[in-house]
Structures are given as structure tokens and as C-alpha cells.
Amino acid sequence: MGEMRFDGQVAIVTGAGGGLGKEYARLLALRGAKVLVNDLGGNFAGVGADGSYAEAAAAEICEQGGEAAANTLSVANSANANAIVQDALDRWGRVDILVNNAGIVSAAGTLDTVTDEQWENDMAVSASGTFYMCRAVWKLMNEQQNYGRIVNIASGSWFGMGSAVPYPAAKGAVWAMTRALASSSRATGRNVTTNVIMPIAGSRMTELMGPDIHGLMIRDFPPRAVAPVVAMLAHADAPCNGELFSVGGGGYTRVFAGVTRGYRATDKDWTMETAREQFDNVMDTDGFFIPEGSMDESSLFTSDVPWDAFRAFIQ
């Protein structure tokens, strides 16, 4: 395979002032993309703002031979998201790639100690920020360009992360949003893909885990080792739409939600005792199925319900 490049393309990478985002922006730029390096520049919990963060990252990428410019707006605001996209359009006339990397961890501790503000802040950056940015490029990519590559950044935390709730919830929303957007462009036949990764990397975010773990993370999971998968998914040859990958330390795996063969009662007036008796069968993952959308999942309960008509309805 020849070198995968982005010549003539324009990318926006949010939260790209440092950490993982800067590595995504750097790789895209060094492979030929013009990159808008967006970053508000607060701390990992979302407190503060410092425009020099994005400026320094963009300057560093330019010094290395790439083409990049800084944007310091917060993604956690609908009007700002539109302005970030407009900034890229004003500079370079199109947006081919959007990487929604900006994220914060505003809340630590158990649910009873989390404040409304912490919940809202986590949701505002990861969930709403991703939503606003995707919406801001959607018409452009789908209707004007018939081309776009969106890479969202979720987190393995939605599998469960100790007692934490807001951050995993916000990242779970990013995964679900990715499925929804992929379904949407599939329905319209546009050449727009939306995929999502769960990175694993040492960064200022892993400082939360203490110096020992943080040091090992920096050594074994450098941020640059995540970038190849993000860039591959941002490329015209991206081989998938709506997929989730865990990426870190120089490798990646597919992560998916599947449905087991389970138990199908023929008796609609079945009992809770039967549900309990069938539990082990329901948990057995042999022969599982990965639905492309909710109708595929519903239609597993086969009957003569006209599922195609349902599918047409929800498009």
C-alpha cells in the first residue's frame, strides 16, 4: 500500500493544544492536511482558558513542515462550534476531516458527591461539544461536499470506571452519537463516515491516577501511538462507518455491542420464573449477533412484523 495522505484536505482537530489531540493534528498535517488546531486551553477539569496552548501547538506543527492554524474557542457552545467550522472555511474553503477530541474530567468521586455543575460540564464538552461540532459540519459534508470523515473520541470508561459517572456517561453518548450519525449517512448514501475510538495514552489526564501509573502510561502508551488509527479513519480509504475501536500502545482492537441468541418465549404471557430459569442461556455469548441498527435488533424477535416498513419510516 502506498503512503496514505491528505493533500488538499482540511481538518479540524478539537482539543489539539496538547496530549492526544496534538498528535492527531501533527500526523494529519505531516501527511498533507491543512489543520485547524482548536483548543480552549483550560486544565484537565475544564477550568480556565489559555489561547497560547493552541497557538504553540499550531506553531510547532508549522515548524515541522505542516500547515496549521490555531483556534481558541470552546466547543461546548453551539455558536462557537459554528464559528470554529467557519474559521476553517474562511482559511481554506472546505472541511474534510473533523476529529472531536476535546474532553475534560470535571468530576471525581462517588455519585452523591458530584455536583450539578460537574455533570453539566462533562456533558457540555464531550457530549454537547461533539454534537455541536458534528452538526456544524454535517450539511457541508453531506450536501455540499458529499465527502467527510468524522472521528469521535470516546473512552473505555463507559465500560465502568470505579465510581465515576458523568465522564463515562458523556463518553457513552459520544459512542451512541457515532452510531446514529453513521446510520444517518448510510441511509442517505453520502460518502461521509463517522467512527469512534477509545484511546489509551499517558497524558495530563492520566496524572489523575498518581505518579507511578502516570509514568508507566507515558512510557508504554505514548499519545503518538494512538494517532495512526485516528488518521486511518480520517482517510478517504477508511474501511468502516459507525465502528468503535480501542487504541493504544501501538495496536487496536474492535469494540462492539452484540446481542446474544438469548431466549425467545412463544408464550407472550410468560413468567418471571421462566426469565430467571433462562438467564444463563441469555448470558451465553455463543452465536451472538451485531445489529447495524435498532431495527436489526428488534427484528431478531422474528414474526411477520414488516420490519422493512419500519426501517423506511425511521429514515
Catalog residues that contact ligand NAI under the rule CB under 6 A: 14-15, 17-21, 38-42, 44, 46, 74-76, 101-104, 125, 129, 153, 155, 198-201, 203-206
- Please provide the size of the chain in residues: 315
Query: Is 167 designated active site?
Result: yes
Spatial contact of 158 and 175, defined as CB atoms under 8 Å apart: yes
- Alpha carbon 292 to its chain centroid, in Å, reads 18
Q: What distances in angstroms separate CA 61 from CA 23, 31, 35, 70, one per listed residue? A: 10, 11, 9, 11
Beta carbon of residue 37, minimum distance to ligand NAI (angstroms, whole number) = 10
Q: Based on CB atoms, which residue is closest to ligand NAI, 77 or 184?
A: 77
- Residue 232, classed as helix, strand or coil, is helix
Q: Based on CB atoms, which residue is closest to ligand NAI, 10 or 164?
A: 164
Beta carbon of residue 262, minimum distance to ligand NAI (angstroms, whole number) = 31
Q: What is the per-residue DSSP string for 108-173? A: -S-GGG--HHHHHHHIIIIIIHHHHHHHHHHHIIIIIIS-EEEEEE--GGGG--TT--HHHHHHHH
Q: For the chain, what is the radius of gyration of the CA atoms?
A: 21
Selecting among 24, 53, 147, 167, the annotated active-site residue is 167
Beta carbon of residue 243, minimum distance to ligand NAI (angstroms, whole number) = 17
- Residue 315, classed as helix, strand or coil, is coil
Which helix (DSSP H) or strand (DSSP E) does residue 70 occupy?
Answer: strand 67-71
Beta carbon of residue 97, minimum distance to ligand NAI (angstroms, whole number) = 16
Three-class secondary structure assignment of 159-178: HCCCCCCHHHHHHHHHHHHH
Q: Based on CB atoms, which residue is closest to ligand NAI, 51 or 291?
A: 51
Q: Based on CB atoms, which residue is closest to ligand NAI, 155 or 194?
A: 155
Q: Based on CB atoms, which residue is closest to ligand NAI, 66 or 199?
A: 199
Q: What distances in angstroms separate CA 292 from CA 13, 51, 311, one per listed residue? A: 28, 41, 12
All cell numbers assigned to 221: 502508551
Give dist(CA 195, CA 132) in Å, integer: 16
Q: Based on CB atoms, which residue is closest to ligand NAI, 54 or 142?
A: 54
Beta carbon of residue 98, minimum distance to ligand NAI (angstroms, whole number) = 13
Q: Which residues are catalytic?
A: 167
